[in-house]
Structure 1
Amino acid sequence: TSQLYAVHVFYQPCNNRAACNCGVAIRVSDDVLVMNKCSYGNNIDDSTVIPFTVTLYRNGYLEAGFRV
């Protein structure tokens, strides 16, 4: 069987250089897993500690085949 899925990545400026990947959201059917380490401020550097969060949005049973 095949799974319908979508993957979105999140970027933010880092260290006055290019953008850094700081999060990802993965949707399988009607379930969404979000892994986030993005900051919502403008002053991000190597010394900034940002907690890593994992959130699962589940509608009923977790979609068959959805593995974390």
Structure 2
Amino acid sequence: MLDKLGVRILSTGGTYDFIVQNGFPAETVQSLTGFPSILGGRVKTLHPVIMGGILARLDNESDQHQLKE
């Protein structure tokens, strides 16, 4: 469904397992960042690749340029 619209689902741990077990395509956050969860799973998505995508301003040319680098 969503994959046909170009949506990628990225997830961690048990949530990833749940999504995949229910027949939806997903990727692990680790496959994107190259880093595993640490501190017992408490740190999973605090990575510039993830946070940059969340915090980037769509209407800011500088932000968009940096994302492409």
State whether TM-score is above 0.5.
no
| TM-score interval, smaller chain | under 0.3
Which structure: greater helix fraction? 2
Q: Whose RCO is larger (CA < 8 A, sep 6+)?
A: 1
Q: TM-score when scaled to structure 1? A: 0.27
Q: TM-score when scaled to structure 2? A: 0.27
